[in-house]
Structure 1
């Protein structure tokens, strides 16, 4: 796949948007990910992703994309890769989230816009705004 000049900017936007979700995903034991991916228990993985994202995004914004991979050998750390989708209003982002013991990374494979602009920079700004608008707003507790 040929990387476009705007791909890195979009990956940064996606990575920042799902940062809190990634923290929640790390609470799941790596053995569970290994089992669910190897046994193709996609519904279990979808439930994990839904639960991890429900505090931060509107329902249906972060979805499991029915794919994943495990790199687990006798030496080295495990690497879990989950195919995910972000669906803020007006766009769909297809990406892979790669989790290791100390790091996470995002690789965006495709972004689809409902009404794309011919200018990629405009589309990138729209993606950032749309993701921000899809977040659940934290409200101040009532002072009872």
Structure 2
């Protein structure tokens, strides 16, 4: 698939939006990812993604796409690639999340807007706003005993 010309700017938007989810996904033991992927148990990987996403996004906003991959060798650290779909209101983002021992990276493959504007920057702002609107806001108020 050819990358869209505005993918780099949108990769930053997506990466910032899913940073906390990526951190949650990196808490899962890499051996579990490897086993699920090698045994083609994509439903298990999808459950992991949904469990991490439900802490930060409205239900259905982030889900596993059409696949995932585990790259494991004797000479380096494992890398897990997850094809993901972000679906905040009015836009769908198809991207790959790369997880490794000390970081995560986002590569946006395609962004589809339900009602795109002529100006790509307007669309990028719409994406950022839609992602913000789909986030779960948690209260920082302390619990009161009584």
- Superposed, 1:107-118 pairs within 5 Å as 107-118=107-118
> TM-score, normalization: structure 1?
0.95
Which whole-Å deviations, capped at 9, do the CAs of 1:76-115 have from their partners, x for residues lacking one?
1111000000000000000000011011100000001000
Q: Give the Å deviation of 1:139.
A: 1.7
> TM-score, normalization: structure 2?
0.94
Aligned residues: 144
The DSSP-based 3-state class of the residue aligned with 1:15 is helix
Equivalent residue number for residue 15 of structure 1? 15
Moved over 2 A (4+): 1-5, 140-144
Mind listing any 5+ residue stretches in structure 1 that lack a counterpart? none
Equivalent residue number for residue 97 of structure 1? 97
Mind listing any 5+ residue stretches in structure 2 that lack a counterpart? none
> In 2, Cα distance between the equivalents of 1:3 and 1:94?
11
Task: Please provide the CA RMSD for this pair.
Answer: 1.2
